[in-house]
Structure 1
Amino acid sequence: MCTYCGCESISVIGRFMAEHTEIINAAGELRRACEGGDPSQVAAAADRVEGLLHPHTRSEEVGLFAVMRRQEEFTDHIDSLCAEHTTLDAQLAAIRGADPGDPALVDRFLHDLRHHIDREDNGLFPASAIALEGPDWEEVDDVTPPPVA
């Protein structure tokens, strides 16, 4: 998590960073479930990750990403982050279908998840704090779905 620029004090960024922590923690539970080898525990842990990941990525994409995408210098970066969201979804589906949660698949998912979160927390989020202004942030707040309870 970025702690050097203060971007986490922007409410939606702080929320996304907190959700990243929850997702990483749930992914750790998924790894432990896969190590345990119980297919029902793997499925339950994958469901937990998915239940956190999908609403989170949707909120990013329809809120912050949509507003930032209007600035040409961020379009390619945002497109690559959205592609990573799709890849993470596919990896999670593969883990759920593996017998019982192939450790190599879990390791790849965790690596890619952490890399993706780092790109957001230490790249896009600090850049957004500089690039966006008051009306932009109001729009981000207006179009970003509320967090899942």
Structure 2
Amino acid sequence: MIKEFIAEHEAVYNLSGDIRRALERGELTDAKRDLVQLQHQLVDHWAGEEQGFFAVMRDDPECVTYIEALEAEHREMTVVLATADLADPDGREQVLASLATLWPHIEKEEDGLFPMSLTTLSGEQWDAAIAAWEHVHHRPVRP
């Protein structure tokens, strides 16, 4: 499942680069198209994290505050990406600023939470996290 999360991280990060480059070139139609695609990818990705992985990691009291901060970042980015007007220079700046937070956010998960999960989660917790990811994505992680 972590492999799936990392693949999703790479996809959204790459798409965020496409959006940034389109905005820099003034290609608002392309930026809007890619922004909508990014929003769809993030909805599923964040649901898989929050309903599965984060939910089981919350069993460890040391992770609760860390996870709450990550979820707050999800909410903040969701609002900005859904409401920013790309036709307005301020809206474009809001999107670019929000996208700039994406890599540090991903690092918090991949360098902090993911390694911790490998030593703290039980088999039952992994099963629950994987089942939630599969439910959100409508496909199995395991063959």
TM over 0.5: yes
Report if the CA contact (8 A) 2:39-2:82 is conserved: no
Aligned equivalent of 1:98, options 82, 86, 90: 86
Aligned equivalent of 1:47, options 14, 25, 36: 36
Letter in 2 for 1:93: A
The alignment partner of 1:33 has SS state of helix
Letter in 1 for 2:36: D
Q: CA, structure 1 residues 91+148, in 2 after alignment: closer, same or farther (shift >3 Å)?
A: farther
Letter in 1 for 2:8: E
Question: TM-score, structure 1 length as denominator?
Answer: 0.83
Counterpart of 2:137?
147
Aligned equivalent of 1:29, options 18, 42, 46: 18
- How far is 1:100 from its partner? 5.1
Q: Distance in 2 between matches of 1:98 and 1:39?
A: 7
Q: What's the CA shift string for 1:14-44, capped at 9, x where partnerless?
A: 1001100000011011112212223322210
1:72 aligns to 2:61 (yes or no) = yes
Question: TM-score, structure 2 length as denominator?
Answer: 0.86
Q: Distance in 2 between matches of 1:13 and 1:25?
A: 18
**Structure 1 unaligned blocks of 5 or more:** 1-11
Q: Distance in 1 between matches of 2:35 and 2:21?
A: 11
Q: Distance in 2 between matches of 1:103 and 1:142?
A: 37
1:108 aligns to 2:97 (yes or no) = yes
Counterpart of 1:13?
2
Counterpart of 1:134?
123
Quote the sequence identity (%). 32
1:83 aligns to 2:67 (yes or no) = no
Backbone CA RMSD of aligned residues: 1.9
